[in-house]
């Protein structure tokens, strides 16, 4: 079965960077887009960007441009999200999620990781 297993929670200081991993299994890793979505406390889910493992293509939501980098390692079927210049309002649960459409990033999310809590605190 499809599984997305994310790295554990982390506490970071303002200005630091964080990298979250998302290890996938149960399907052809290179065939599907992976999205990153976050949810800050009391806020709605917010789409951050997508990554395609086959060619490394990415698309980033405008508000994260310049701070968000998404990469992948096909040898371990894992995608990574790195967010730099952390601010207090980056405190959130970060999710990876698979797009079921292999030909384009439709934005539908059929399988999700359990989430990684990133706390930005001084």
Partner 1 sequence: EIVLTQSPGTLSLSPGERATLSCRASQSVNGRYLAWYQHKPGQAPRLLIYGVSSRATGIPDRFSGSGSGTDFTLTISSLEPEDFAVYYCQQYGSSLFTFGPGTKVDIK
Rounded to a whole number of angstroms, the minimum distance from the CB of residue 100 to partner 1 is 8
Rounded to a whole number of angstroms, the minimum distance from the CB of residue 13 to partner 1 is 26
Residues that bind partner 1 (CB under 8 A): 4, 35, 44-47, 59, 61-62, 95, 97, 106-115
Q: Are 38 and 48 in contact (CB under 8 A)?
A: yes
In terms of CB distance, is 65 or 75 closer to partner 1? Answer: 65
Rounded to a whole number of angstroms, the minimum distance from the CB of residue 89 to partner 1 is 17
In terms of CB distance, is 35 or 52 closer to partner 1? Answer: 35
């Amino acid at each position: 079965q499809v599984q997305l297993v994310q790295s554990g929670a982390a506490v970071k200081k303002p200005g630091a960077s964080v990298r979250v991993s998302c290890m996938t299994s149960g399907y052809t890793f290179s065939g599907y887009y992976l999205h990153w979505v976050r949810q800050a406390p009391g806020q709605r889910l917010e789409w951050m960007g997508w990554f395609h493992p086959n060619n490394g293509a990415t698309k980033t939501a405008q508000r994260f441009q310049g701070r968000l980098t998404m990469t992948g390692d096909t040898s371990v079927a894992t995608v990574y999200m790195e967010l730099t210049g952390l601010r207090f309002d980056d405190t959130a649960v970060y999710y990876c999620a698979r797009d079921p459409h292999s030909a384009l990033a439709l934005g539908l999310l059929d399988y999700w990781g359990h989430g990684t809590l990133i706390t930005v605190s001084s």
